[in-house]
Every structure is written in C-alpha cells, then in structure tokens.
Structure 1
C-alpha cells in the first residue's frame, strides 16, 4: 500500500506565492496535492480512523455530523476537516514548507570530496548536504589530470544512474591561469575541443555542465561543442573582456560560474564579463551567498538586474562543509579552514579562497534575514531556477502535484526542522 502523508498548518511556498496555513499531501515518492489547507486534519486521539481509499476525505463542516451508532454523534467545529485516508498527519503550524534545494555547484562536504573518485566519499557528500535541505545536486570536480578526471567521471556517473546525483559538473582544467583561484596552476590547459569531448564521453551521458574560460584558444569552439552536446557551457575562472564574454554567450554559454568571483572586477571603462553576463537574458548567474564571497550590496545588485529567475544560489562547497575548522584536501591541493573560511594552504595560490563551507540552508537564512530578499525570491534562487537550468524542473524545484516529494521544513527562524527526499524523511521533524 502506498504511504500517504499530510503536512498541514505551515506556510507553504508554492510557485504562485506563499500560502498561509497550507497543506502538502505526499503519496509514495510524489506530491499528490499542495495548496491551501482548512485547519486541523488529524484523527481524534484514541479513535480508529475510517479507511477511505485514494484522495477521499470526510468534510464534516458547519452543522454536519456523523451518526455511527444511533445515539453517538461526532461533533466537529465549523472549519475542521478530518482526513481519514492519511497514514500520517503532521501539524507543522509555525513552520515553513519549501521545495528541496537544488545545488548545481558543489565539490564536497562532511569531510569528503567528489574529486576523490570514491563512491563512499561521494555518498558522504550527498548525505551531508541532504541534512541541510539539498535534495538535488550536481557533483563538481576540480582541476586535475585528464586521466584522473575521466576516472572520477566514470565513478560518479554510476551514482547519477542510481539516482543519488543529478549529474556532473567539470570545473577546470580549461580555465585561465590568471584567475585559477583554488585550482592547481600546473594542471591547467587550454580547452582543446578533443579534450573537452574526452571528458564529456567519460561521463557516459551524465555531464550536465562544464566551466571554462572562453578567451583561451579553443574556447569558443568548445562552448559550441558543449551546447551541441546538451551540456551547459559556463563562463568562469576567466580573464575575458566584456566583448569576449558576449561572444561566448552567442556561441551558446548560458551560465556564469560564481559571478564576480574568479573574474575581472567591473570597471567603468572596462566592464568585463560581469556586465556582459548580468545583462544577457540568456544567462543564469551563480552566486555564493556565504557573507565571504559577496557583499550584500553586490548580491542585491545582481538580483535587481537579473531577477530571481536568473539567479541560482550555489554552495561551491568543499569537504569542510558541515565540519569544523581544520585542514582538508581539495583535489590535488590542501585547504585550511579557519572561522569557516577555506583558503589554499601553500603553493603559488596560497591564501586564495578555496570554495566555501556553505550549505544551502545557511544561504536561505542569510538571504531573508541579512540580504533583504523575500522568501519567494529565495525559493526561486535555491530551487526553481537551478532546476530549470539543469532541465529537471519537470521533477523537482517546486511543490506541485506529480513532482518528486522533495521538500524542506523550516522553523520560524529558518533553521531546518525536516527534510524529505522522494517521500522519505532524511531529517524527521521533531514537533512538540
């Protein structure tokens, strides 16, 4: 028998806006209904529920009553609804229900990394971020030898095929040595289309995105190859000019990898790639909202220009996400985390910020409590927009009937109280 769960009483973030005292019904692994609720929806304590099939529920409103024994009458208040078909009814009054978060750029977490090329480490990363509300994610690699990257892709693609991951994102090695950030400079190379093709093929159809610097030799040709292959071409770790960035968009690039970071600063006579990528309606811009990578005013600027439908919050998290300060590997490099900020420990790029220790629940809280964004804007940037960009919005990214039962329960303080993925509780709400 299919498990049926009713979540009621919470503010529910739907595509059309927030519904007060809403209701979400889950059947098996799917959302069966989401919308306005009508009050208490639990069977009286100590009473056996009447088993009604399918969507059936008994509405005993107004003067209606149920006479089951001649004299006995069950008297219910005017706005009450007794849902007798649910296996479980949870009253989430005072909470929010939002769609599961979608992270299109994450390298690690829980002390593990996707770049380790280990199924066990990859699952640790996925489970760590699920605890924080991310129910859909790409596995992002970091710059490495092509052979090693192909090996990592082979391992990670199996987890995509098993439904643990949504796809692969190659960040490097086809990036600018002038904007390499936390990538090993000695392993960088120009984006030769033949090499790009090798990595795409190694992913066995699971490659979803590749970040590259389009101004490098072979850059535009590689962008076209990716676009023709159904892989998102992302402009990032680039030293390109405004004009070169526009050329990349014309060639098929549709994503800006962590906009503002690892690219030239916006200048009044040299607008650079930031302006080119912000102003083009075809481009979705990634933002790392951890308070370290971007000043709130810069984030607000991006939202005003691009809007929530073109902004995707990402973590760019490395292995220290969900962990304490210390030293962690990032691909072939070592990172030191102090006060939650990750930086390269030594070598020619020592001191460079090395991804983040961010989880998307923190990005959510910061957006609505520090950055002045609405819950609706934040939900789109964390769920709907990245789902659309990745082409999985038919299954995830919003609370709609027929989609995967992926959702997050947040308290009034926007702390995670519960996480559901595919109808199963990853974090079960503790109520009382």
Structure 2
C-alpha cells in the first residue's frame, strides 16, 4: 500500500493505493489538487519504447547486456521498456534477438519489464542513417517473420519510400507488428501513403527524417498533419522546445522516449552504440564527427523537462506512461486503476524520484535525486 496524491485516469485522488499479487486491487481517497500539499505524487510507471542501452551496456552486445539495461533504467522510473536494436547484418541481428528471447524466458523481476523488441532498422534509408551503422536495406516479410520467432517484435522502424515497403507495412500490420516511420528521406505524400497502409507512428520525430518546408512538407509534415501517435526525445538537445510545443499541439498522443544509449546513468566517457564508438560529454552522446547518437536521457528527467515546457504533471505523465501503453495496446500498463499492473513511481513535490514499484515489488528507493542527463 502507498499513500499520497494518486494520479488515476479520472484525475488526482488523495488516499491509499492497494495491490495484491502484483495488480492494483483498489484505490481509496478523495479528489485533490496536489499543488495544495507536499505529500508524494504517485504516477504510473514510465514506459520507454526506445531504449538502446544504459548502465554501460548496449543491447547489441547481447549476452547479459539487456539485464544491465533493464536494471539501470528501473532506477529512473522506467517500469517497462522495449529493447531497441541498431541496424546490423542478418547474423548479428539474429544473435541479438536470440539473446533477448532468452532473457525474456527468465527476466529479472527487480528490473524494468522488457515488453519485447523495437527493431530500428535495418530497413531504413541509407541516405538518412543518422548514427545507425551502414547496413540499411529493404525488408521482406519472410526475414522479419523469422526474427519474430527469436523474440517478440512489438515495434519496427522503417523508411516507407524503399521498394516494397508499402506492402511490407500492410503485412506487418496484419501480423500485429506496429510500424513507425523513421530514418527516412520520404516525402509528405509517401508518409501519408504509409499511414494509409497501416503505419501508426513516427520514430524520434524531427530527427533523421525529411523536414517541414511550406512547399515540401516532408515526413515531419505528414506526422504533424496526420499522426495520432509519434515518439519524441525530450532531452532539449534533439528537438528545440519550440518544435516540441508545435508537435504537442498537432499530435494528440505524442509520447516521450529516451533513445538512451549505454552512456545513460554513467559518467562522461567512451561507450558503444552498436558497432560505433560514442562519447558522452556535456549531457549528450555523439559520434566522432559530432552527430548526435542517441541520448543520456532518463525518463524521470524527461518528465521534468515536459513540465518545464508548461505541461501539467498529469499531462506529462500521460506522455510517459498512458500513451505509450495505449500505442502498444496494453491497457494493463500505464495507468493506476484496479486490475492494472502495480507499476508506479513515487515523486516528491519537486518531481524528484523517491521510489519505484514493478508489480507491487519495491525495486528502487532512496533520497530525492536528479539525474545528470
């Protein structure tokens, strides 16, 4: 049981949150404005659908790396995540997905839930790699189905303009794999066509995609004009606050991701991102040529950044919990209500993280702290 200001789907309640066997059993209390007291704020656990690494480990290392990543991010309030790959050759991709599948068969219950895989590439445009290694190529459904046998692919990023990809989007959608558009030079029209064929989101909006121009709206324009969902990295480095505000007005269910690397939760220094060496310095992660290469962002800092932009705490919480859960069709996550998993974060009145529960289990606790991300 936890007591405090509880954010429910119906609004804030001051009272007690109870759970049994890992699920919320009931919430007792009355409506409240949490700004009128200094009691803890209880929010749904954060859900990060774009995680490459953390704690010095990179998902593409395979082996025990994912266990380190999940144990690192839970310390910052992420109670569920998607293990996100980098563009790689077929053999390496199969090896990594096999290791992810092995981890999912016996996960660490004191870490973030790993909900499956976000396959970011290799089905992207070689002209818009960003920090992705140069192994981009068009995709075929048989190859992806074989990968799905190794680990559950919940989300796949591709460039819709590549040959055969509109058909591929339809095939993936029929199989329950959500498709996001990213690392793309596609036009506005190609973005709209992809949405019509079943694509349902955009990967790290604004980054690694054709930009918005008033006579060539590009992939950003397709997202701003038509998207219900898109992910965005709110680290204040990847996207200017003004662009973030525009996207928040245009895309009803814009949700936050970290795009975090092995450098998340770690001091400045050299780390791996797939086959690339990257450097963490001044709060960012870059390749040797200065290209942004993922982030050091953690979800508790993402929450504070969104509130700093002017969102209410409830609005910011939706974009870190409820919206990504709904995007995956997981109504048992991302909300504090009877029947949902007892995944929650506890914050003080300054929005510093106090405690983290996964399935009712206390997995992280301590004094208020602010990350260096």
Q: Shorter-chain TM-score: which interval? A: over 0.9
Distance in structure 1 (CA, Å) of the matches to 2:119 and 2:31: 47
Separation of aligned partners in 2, 1:196 and 1:157 = 15
- Cα distance change on mapping 1:290 and 1:430 into 2, 3 Å: closer
Which of 191, 202, 211 aligns to 1:245? It is 191
Matched, 1:382 2:320: yes
Distance 2:19 2:142 in 1: 46
Report the Cα distance in structure 2 between the residues aligned to 1:363 and 1:340, rounded to whole angstroms.
Answer: 13
Aligned to 1:277: 223
With normalisation by structure 1, the TM-score equals 0.80
* Secondary structure at the counterpart of residue 19 of structure 2: strand
Q: TM-score, normalised to structure 2's length?
A: 0.92
Structure 2 CA distance, aligned partners of 1:122 and 1:160? 10
Is the CA contact 1:108–1:125 (under 8 Å) kept in the aligned structure 2? yes
Q: Does 1:122 align with 2:66?
A: yes
1:22 aligns with 2:15: yes
Deviation at residue 94 of structure 1 after TM alignment: 2.1
Listed as ranges, the matches of 1:199-238 within 5 Å are 199-203=147-151, 206-238=152-184
Shift of 1:38: 10
Identify if the C-alpha distance between structure 1 residues 28 and 428 changes in structure 2 by more than 3 Å, giving closer, same or farther: farther
Q: Find the counterpart in structure 1 of residue 114 from structure 2.
A: 165
SS at match of 2:263: coil
The aligned counterpart of 2:90 is 146
Equivalent in the alignment of 2:286: 343
1:113 aligns with 2:62: no
Distance 2:269 2:141 in 1: 38
Unaligned runs of 5+ in 2: 108-112, 369-373
Which of 4, 7, 14 is the matching residue for 2:2? 7
Checking the alignment, whether the CA contact within 8 Å between 1:113 and 1:318 is kept in structure 2 is yes
The structure, 1 or 2, with the larger RCO (C-alpha pairs under 8 Å, 6+ apart) is: 2
The answer on 1:289 being equivalent to 2:226 is no
**CA distance in 1: counterparts of 2:260 and 2:31, whole angstroms:** 41
Output aligned runs, 1:280-319, within 5 Å.
280-281=226-227, 283-307=228-252, 310-319=253-262
- Give RMSD over aligned pairs: 1.8
Which piece of structure 1 moves more, 397-406 or 191-200? Answer: 191-200
Distance of 2:241 and 2:5 partners within structure 1: 26
- Stretch moving more, 410-419 or 270-279: 270-279
Deviation per CA, 1:299-348, whole angstroms, max 9, x where unpaired?
111111113xx111000001000011111011111111111211112xxx
**Larger Rg computed on CA atoms:** 1
Number of residue equivalences: 359
Tell me which of 338, 345, 358 is aligned to 1:401.
338
